[in-house]
Amino acid sequence: MKIKVTHETCYAYDSPTKRSIQLLRVTPLSLGRQKVLSWSLALPRCGSELFDGFGNCCTLLSLPEPHECLRIKAQGEVELEEDLDWLEDDRLPPGLFLRETPLTRCTGPIREMAARRLGRGVSRRALQAFSADILAHMPYAKGRTGVSTSADEAFALGVGVCQDHTHVFLAGARAMGVPARYVSGYLYTESEQHLASHAWAEAWLDGRWYVFDVSNQLFAPARHVQIALGLDYNDAAPVRGIRVGGGHEHMDYRVQVAAQQ
C-alpha cells in the first residue's frame, strides 16, 4: 500500500518572538517493511539534517530574526508492505527500551493491571489483552490531558489520547520485563477521525517488534507510517523547541493521510 501524507503546522504568537530554535522529527526513514518514495519539507529557511540517539531523522531549524509565526509543511509518499505483522529493526539493543522515564513510571494500579495479563507469561495475545484493558479503563477523549501528562496521571484520570494510552502500555510492559518503545507517525484509515499525527507502542517479542496501537486496537503495521521512536513522547515529538519572547502560542494544524492506488 502506498500512503500519501501532508502535514501542515502553524505556530502563531501574540507578539513577534525574537528568535527560536526548533528540532523537527517529521521525516520518515526507509526501514524494513516501510519504503520512502518521496518526502519534502517546506520551512521558513533551510534547516540542518541530523540523526538523534535513537536513529530518528531530525531537522534543526534556527530562526535568529523576529517572526510572528512559524509554518512547517511535511509531505511525501511512503510504501508499506501489508503482509507482515511484525517489524525488523536492529539499530538499537532492545534492552534499552526497558528504561523507565518520568512519563512512563509504573505505579501500583498500572502494575496490577499489567500483572493480571502478563504475570503468568508474556505473549502477543497477553499484550493485546493488556492493551484492551487499558482502552476500557481509559476511553479516548481529547482535551483532558496534555503532552506532559504522565502515565500514572492519565491512568488515574481514566481518559486519554493516543500518547496517554501508549505511555500506560509502555509503563506496564516494561515493569513486566518486556522491552517496549514509543512510536510517532501516521495511521491511514478510511475515516477522517485520524487526520492527525498518531502514536502507538511497539514491543519486543521473540526477536521481533510488534505493533500495539492501544487507541485503535490494531496490532499489525500495515497502515502505520513510522516517523520517530524513543522511550516516550519527548523522544519522538514532531516539534520541540525554545524561543525568546512571543507571548502565548497558538497552534493550528492540518493533516491528510490518503491511500494511493
Per-residue pLDDT tens digits for 13-32: 999 999 999 999 999 999 98
**Which residues have CB under 8 Å from 136's CB, separation 6+?**
none
| DSSP 8-state symbol, 240 | E
Torsion sign across C-alpha atoms 73, 196, 19, 150: negative
Q: Which residue has the higher pLDDT, 195 or 257?
A: 257
- Please tell me the predicted confidence (pLDDT) of residue 200: 98
- For the entire predicted model, the pTM comes to 0.95
Same fold, 2-81+238-260 and 86-235: no
Domain ranges within the chain, ordered by starting residue: 2-81+238-260, 86-235
Per-residue pLDDT tens digits for 47-67: 999 999 999 999 999 999 999
Torsion sign across C-alpha atoms 125, 108, 180, 75: positive
- Please tell me the predicted confidence (pLDDT) of residue 104: 99
CATH topology of domain 86-235: C8orf32 fold (3.10.620)
Q: Which residue has the higher pLDDT, 84 or 219?
A: 219
- Please tell me the predicted confidence (pLDDT) of residue 193: 62
pLDDT at 227 over 90: yes
Judge whether 225 and 5 are in contact, CB under 8 Å: yes
Pick from 258, 172, 256: which is nearest to 214 by CA? 172
Q: What dotted CATH number matches 2-81+238-260? A: 2.60.40.2250
